[in-house]
Amino acid sequence: RHPLDQRASDPSKKTLVILGSGWGSVSLLKKIDTENYNVVVISPRNFFLFTPLLPACTTGTIEHRSIMEPLRNILRHKTTAVTFYEAECTQIDPVNRVLTLRDNSEIKGDIAETSLPFDYLVIGVGAQNTTFGIPGVQENACFLKEIPDAQKIRTRIMDCIETATFKDQTEDERKRLLHMVVVGGGPTGVEFAGELQDFFEEDLRKWVPEISDDFHVSLVEALPNVLPMFSKQLINYTEKTFKDEKINIHTKTMVKKVTEKTIFAEVTKPDGTKEMIEMPYGLLVWATGNAPRSVVRDLMTKIPAQAKARRGLEVNDYLVVNGTEGIWALGDCAATKYAPTAQVATQQGQYLARLFNTMAKTQALEEDIAHLEELGHATASMDDKKAIAAEIEAKAKTLRRSKRLMPFQYTHQGSLAYIGSDKAIADLTFGDGNNLTSSGQLTYLFWRSAYVSMCFSTRNKLLVIMDWLKVKMFGRDVSRE
Ligand code: FAD
Ligand code: NAD
């Protein structure tokens, strides 16, 4: 037991610290047998967030609390108490095996920063939004990763609309304020653009008819098409649906600079020449993918084996962070050959739970065998010696089997995305890598039922269904908070 470890409830057990309360860490927590370790969870967020429905929170199609599940509720179902600290881990010392924690919430007590030793560590801190260092993005854009991001976007949409309709507003300014730009044609950008256009078509047009001619959604993507991870057929379907919905798609357009009111982007024309264009905007949502969090970047600099790591912590086939012992990484903070998705993080969490459960079993078997060997030496009777030897052999066989842990293997079940106007796209994989693509309104029904069934709890499922019904009956709420 580490000398600093005051809180470990059972000194005979190893302390396993899990960072994060997202897809990876929660999937591990659900399946791990907490009897075997002193489990401590650290996260600045005391809830699990069902990210696939976050784009719908930006327009009020779904209320944010419907997709949050309190971590305390998840932990209270574990057989042995799990300690939770609402804090951000700011530093990881892989040599002395100590973490630095900081309480970053508004209310602070006498102690806002402290340290915590660990025997085993699982890093599941996710990622932050990348801006590629493009000037003006951090200061002027909204992002879409956490609940406060969605709340900020929801408020900004209505603020732009109310300001655009202010008495005597100039025409140019009204047009600018009503131009909603999404940068990044990955699934986050596409789903948000679809949700926003739905909000306009189904509610804003009715409640604020004076914006009808000037409200526009634009999607800007550097590559020749949106959704590069989906099949060509679904990319074409999405681009056609966006065209029909009147969402402007600007492909081969790379944003280079952003100011308070204007986006500067470089367009590659069909003849290969480049041209700089200016786009005045009211709302800018930036969705160009992930970058490692500062705690992860800092850890990378401390481990020579991570010198070449860029996208996140490099791990081996068992998810052990290269260059460390007893430190694992999962989900978006790990750089693997898989895409940073909830599906991957969940399967990695399940794998690590199996690994920790097996490790505990292995340890118990090793202790049993050592004890039996001592007994064997101590006894004089040949019959007893034989019986003990047989028991040792049986346990050794089980031990050999449980030590043969397979490396992590990902099973891709497919990708789903909502693209607006009650349409979704699905790239499904089944059997031996067979593929099925589907799109349209039936796929949307499938998307809805799949995501409701995946919501964390029955409470979440009911709340999401009720939100959908509420919007169908009364429309979305257009008040600005
Ligand atoms: P996260 O779920 O992001 O969790 C990270 C956790 O770490 C959080 O609890 C955070 O508070 C905590 N944390 C952060 N910093 C620290 C720190 N310093 N110390 C301790 N804890 C920390 N994937 C899909 O497969 N399907 C989808 O439909 C889908 N939709 C998405 C929609 C949106 C809008 C977004 C943003 C992502 C979507 N994804 C989807 C991707 C998916 O959400 C991520 O791949 C997934 O969340 C990764 O899980 P994770 O556990 O690694 O990280
Ligand atoms: P992404 O990395 O998938 O896409 C970002 C896009 O931004 C890319 O297409 C890139 O070319 C573009 N881009 C980058 N810089 C640009 C610039 N300067 N100007 C214009 N375009 C630029 O990012 P994401 O959509 O945030 O997704 C992150 C991860 O989360 C992915 O792995 C994704 O699969 C997953 N996710 C999945 C779903 C789903 O399955 N429905 C939904 C959301 C996110």
Which residue has its alpha carbon closest to ligand 1 atom 31?
52
Instruction: Provide the token pair at 2.
Output: 């580490």
Q: If you measure from the C-alpha of residue 26 to the centroid of ligand 2, how many angstroms do you get, rounded to a whole number?
A: 24
Q: Examine the domain organization and report whether 148 and 281 are in the same domain.
A: yes
Task: Name the domain count of the chain.
Answer: 2
Ligand having the closest approach to the CA of 149: 1
Q: If you measure from the C-alpha of residue 105 to the centroid of ligand 1, how many angstroms do you get, rounded to a whole number?
A: 19
C-beta of residue 47 within 8 angstroms of C-beta of residue 75 = no
Which residue has its alpha carbon closest to ligand 1 atom 27?
52
Q: Is the CB of 189 under 6 A from ligand 1?
A: no
Q: Is residue 91 part of a domain?
A: yes
Q: Examine the domain organization and report whether 233 and 146 are in the same domain.
A: yes
Q: Examine the domain organization and report whether 159 and 55 are in the same domain.
A: no
Q: If you measure from the C-alpha of residue 272 to the centroid of ligand 1, how many angstroms do you get, rounded to a whole number?
A: 37
Nearest ligand 1 atom, CA 295 = 18
C-beta of residue 261 within 8 angstroms of C-beta of residue 280 = yes
Which residue has its alpha carbon closest to ligand 1 atom 37?
51
In this prediction, residue 429 carries a pLDDT of 84
Q: Is residue 8 part of a domain?
A: no
Q: Shortest CA distance to 79 belongs to which of 116, 48, 117, 37?
A: 37
Q: Which residue in the block uniquely carries the two structure tokens 């990708």?
A: 415
Q: Is the CB of 340 under 6 A from ligand 2?
A: yes
Q: Which residue in the block uniquely carries the two structure tokens 């990484």?
A: 329
Task: Give per-residue pLDDT as tens, 314-364.
Answer: 999 999 999 999 999 999 999 999 999 999 999 999 999 999 999 998 888
Q: Which residue in the block uniquely carries the two structure tokens 């699982």?
A: 122
In this prediction, residue 3 carries a pLDDT of 45
Q: Examine the domain organization and report whether 268 and 315 are in the same domain.
A: no
Q: Is residue 350 part of a domain?
A: yes
Would you tell me the crossing angle of helices 187-199 and 147-164 to the nearest 10 degrees? 40
Q: Examine the domain organization and report whether 174 and 30 are in the same domain.
A: no
The CATH number of residue 343's host domain is: 3.50.50.100
Pick from 333, 361, 389: which residue ends a domain? Answer: 361
- CA distances from residue 326 to 7, 8, 172, 332, 352 in whole angstroms, order as listed: 20, 18, 59, 19, 12
Q: Is the CB of 415 under 6 A from ligand 2?
A: yes
In this prediction, residue 128 carries a pLDDT of 98
Q: Examine the domain organization and report whether 259 and 305 are in the same domain.
A: no
Q: In degrees, to the nearest 5, what angle opens at C-alpha 156 toward C-alphas 152 and 161?
A: 160
Which residue has its alpha carbon closest to ligand 1 atom 14?
125
Q: Examine the domain organization and report whether 283 and 296 are in the same domain.
A: no
Q: Examine the domain organization and report whether 300 and 285 are in the same domain.
A: no
Low-confidence ranges of the chain (pLDDT < 70): 1-8
Q: Is residue 236 part of a domain?
A: yes
In this prediction, residue 433 carries a pLDDT of 74
Q: If you measure from the C-alpha of residue 126 to the centroid of ligand 1, how many angstroms do you get, rounded to a whole number?
A: 5
Q: Shortest CA distance to 447 belongs to which of 187, 264, 271?
A: 187
DSSP letter (8 states) at residue 201: I
Which residue has its alpha carbon closest to ligand 2 atom 4?
186
Q: Is residue 440 part of a domain?
A: yes
Q: Examine the domain organization and report whether 248 and 308 are in the same domain.
A: no
Pick from 361, 376, 403: which residue ends a domain? Answer: 361
Q: Examine the domain organization and report whether 146 and 200 are in the same domain.
A: yes
In this prediction, residue 334 carries a pLDDT of 98
- The domain containing residue 440 runs over which residues? 137-290+411-474
Q: Is the CB of 51 under 6 A from ligand 2?
A: no
Pick from 327, 345, 361: which residue ends a domain? Answer: 361
Q: Which residue in the block uniquely carries the two structure tokens 């002193």?
A: 38
Number of H helices, E strands in the chain: 14, 24
Task: Give per-residue pLDDT as tens, 39-59.
Answer: 999 999 999 999 999 999 999
Query: Rounded mean pLDDT of the chain?
Result: 94
Ligand having the closest approach to the CA of 148: 1
Q: Is the CB of 339 under 6 A from ligand 1?
A: no
Q: Is the CB of 145 under 6 A from ligand 1?
A: yes
Nearest ligand 1 atom, CA 42 = 20
Q: Is residue 374 part of a domain?
A: no
Q: Shortest CA distance to 443 belongs to which of 411, 460, 419, 475?
A: 419
Q: Is the CB of 254 under 6 A from ligand 2?
A: yes
| For ligand 1, mutation pick of 21, 23, 295, 330 (most atoms within 8 Å of CB) | 23
Q: Examine the domain organization and report whether 97 and 108 are in the same domain.
A: yes
In this prediction, residue 149 carries a pLDDT of 98
Q: Is residue 57 part of a domain?
A: yes
In this prediction, residue 405 carries a pLDDT of 80
Ligand having the closest approach to the CA of 412: 1
Nearest ligand 1 atom, CA 341 = 45
Q: Examine the domain organization and report whether 163 and 274 are in the same domain.
A: yes
| For ligand 2, mutation pick of 140, 223, 250, 288 (most atoms within 8 Å of CB) | 288
Q: Is residue 376 part of a domain?
A: no
Phi-psi region of 158 (alpha: psi -120 to 50; beta: other; left: phi over 0): alpha
